[in-house]
Amino acid sequence: MHDILTLISGRAHPELAREVADYLGITLGKIDLWDFPDGEIGCKLEQNIRGRDVFLFQPTGPPVNDNLMELLIMIDACKRASAERITTVIPYFGYARQDRKDAGRVPITAKLAANMIVTAGADRVLTMDLHAAQIQGFFDLPVDHLYAAPILDQYFRSLNLPPDKLAIVSPDEGSIKRALHHQRHLGGSLTIVDKRRSSATRTQQANLIGEPLQGKIALLFDDMISTAGSICGAADVAHKHGADEIYISAAHAVFCGSAVSRLCEAPVKEVVVTNSLPIAKAQDLPNLHTVTVAPLLGEAIKRIHRAESVSYLFD
């Protein structure tokens, strides 16, 4: 396997790429990436990849435009170097929230980003916890969509929380399906926070739907924590309704804007995320716990390379 599989990382998250390479028992491919004085990105492959099965590792998180452009340039470099197949490994897919026209005269930028990846020369996409699962259809090529939920559930099971006090909380109506998945695997009751969005950056949470939270241990799950407004608002509601302990969890720690200050002020015992995106020292909260997705991504890469099924990793 290792004779023809090549894993190459961009500059977005080389630490996670090295973890994946360690899981596979290989070393990262050699590539030189740099910035020209005018901001253009330079790229040169430092090894032969002709006829190889190449996996390009690059989450397109902040700075989104730089990381997306770097991914496109790496795809083009591999295509022109005669790679046999190019799979883009994108643990976090930027622009995923711009997946529809929710107002007049606005773009569907998630589709545009998908088009660029396809046009650049990718043959396959491996990603994780898309903001909306239907984004898979934006790519005119095979997409393997993984979920971090089993890894997050495994961590919460290790805490040995009392099942009779457990409450799975959906921070809004759009996350009910995710909350139901966690409830099936962790048990506990189900509660939904009624969220009303007043603008792109402001939301208001007030009411609860479902089981009461008085005396419960509330677990709040979302796909990402961006500015943390929604998840912290939901945590405040859970606290006001009598939850004894509150944990919030998400697959992607985007942590932009006022996220860190909001999380520090929220009535939360622990913030549990994956390492799909790098977390800067300034974002490293005292109650932050990170679980790794390297084995999940590594196993998927191995199975894609061997033309084996990866469907059991989806759940």
**Confidence at residue 1, expressed as pLDDT on a 0 to 100 scale:** 42
Q: What is the average per-residue pLDDT within 117-127?
A: 98
**Confidence at residue 202, expressed as pLDDT on a 0 to 100 scale:** 59
Residue 84 carries which DSSP code? S
pTM of the prediction? 0.94
**Confidence at residue 35, expressed as pLDDT on a 0 to 100 scale:** 98
Check whether 211 has a pLDDT greater than 80: yes
Residue 92 carries which DSSP code? S
Which residues are annotated as part of the binding site for D-ribose 5-phosphate? 197, 222
Q: What is the average per-residue pLDDT within 93-109?
A: 96
Q: Would you identify the CATH topology of the domain 149-292? A: Rossmann fold (3.40.50)
Which residues are annotated as part of the binding site for Mg(2+)? 131, 172
Percentage of residues of the chain with pLDDT beyond 70? 95
**Phi, psi (degrees; rounded to nearest 5) at 138:** -75, -20
Which residues are annotated as part of the binding site? 38-40, 97-98, 131, 172, 197, 222
Q: What is the mean pLDDT of the chain?
A: 94
Which strand ranges, in their side-by-side order, compose the sheet holding 143-146? 5-9, 53-57, 85-90, 124-128, 143-146
Q: Please count the helices (runs of H) and the strands (runs of E) in the chain.
A: 8, 14
Which two structure tokens, joined as six digits, stand for 311?
Answer: 């469907």
**Confidence at residue 312, expressed as pLDDT on a 0 to 100 scale:** 76
Report the phi/psi class of residue 258: left, alpha or beta, with left for phi > 0 and alpha for psi in -120 to 50. alpha
Which residues are annotated as part of the binding site for ATP? 38-40, 97-98
Percentage of residues of the chain with pLDDT beyond 90? 89
Check whether 72 has a pLDDT greater than 80: yes
CB within 8 Å of 15: residues ≥ 6 apart: 275, 278
Whether the domain at 5-146 and the domain at 149-292 fall into the same CATH topology? yes
Check whether 246 has a pLDDT greater than 90: yes
Q: What is the average per-residue pLDDT within 38-58?
A: 97
Distance between start and end Cα atoms, the chain: 26
Judged by average pLDDT, the poorest of 92-101, 203-212, 275-284 is 203-212
Summarised one tens digit per residue, pLDDT across range 260-290 is 999 999 999 999 999 999 999 989 999 999 9
CB within 8 Å of 19: residues ≥ 6 apart: 275, 292, 294, 298
Which two structure tokens, joined as six digits, stand for 218?
Answer: 């509330």
What's the CA gap between 292 and 279, in Å, rounded?
12
Any idea of the CA torsion for 246, 247, 248, 250, to the nearest 10 degrees?
-160
**Confidence at residue 125, expressed as pLDDT on a 0 to 100 scale:** 98
What's the CA gap between 208 and 193, in Å, rounded?
5
Check whether 63 has a pLDDT greater than 60: yes
Check whether 199 has a pLDDT greater than 70: no
Of residues 143 and 198, which shows the higher confidence score? 143
**Confidence at residue 313, expressed as pLDDT on a 0 to 100 scale:** 78
What's the CA gap between 94 and 254, in Å, rounded?
10
Summarised one tens digit per residue, pLDDT across range 8-27 is 999 999 999 999 999 999 99
Q: Name the residue type at position 133.
A: A
Q: What is the average per-residue pLDDT within 223-250?
A: 95
Q: Would you identify the CATH topology of the domain 5-146? A: Rossmann fold (3.40.50)
Q: Name the residue type at position 10.
A: G
Check whether 2 has a pLDDT greater than 80: no
Q: Enumerate the active-site residues.
A: 195
CB within 8 Å of 315: residues ≥ 6 apart: 147, 150
Q: What is the average per-residue pLDDT within 173-179?
A: 90
Q: What is the average per-residue pLDDT within 229-243?
A: 94
Q: What is the average per-residue pLDDT within 194-203?
A: 62
Domain ranges of the chain: 5-146, 149-292
Of 91, 225, 207, 211, nearest to 147 by C-alpha is: 91
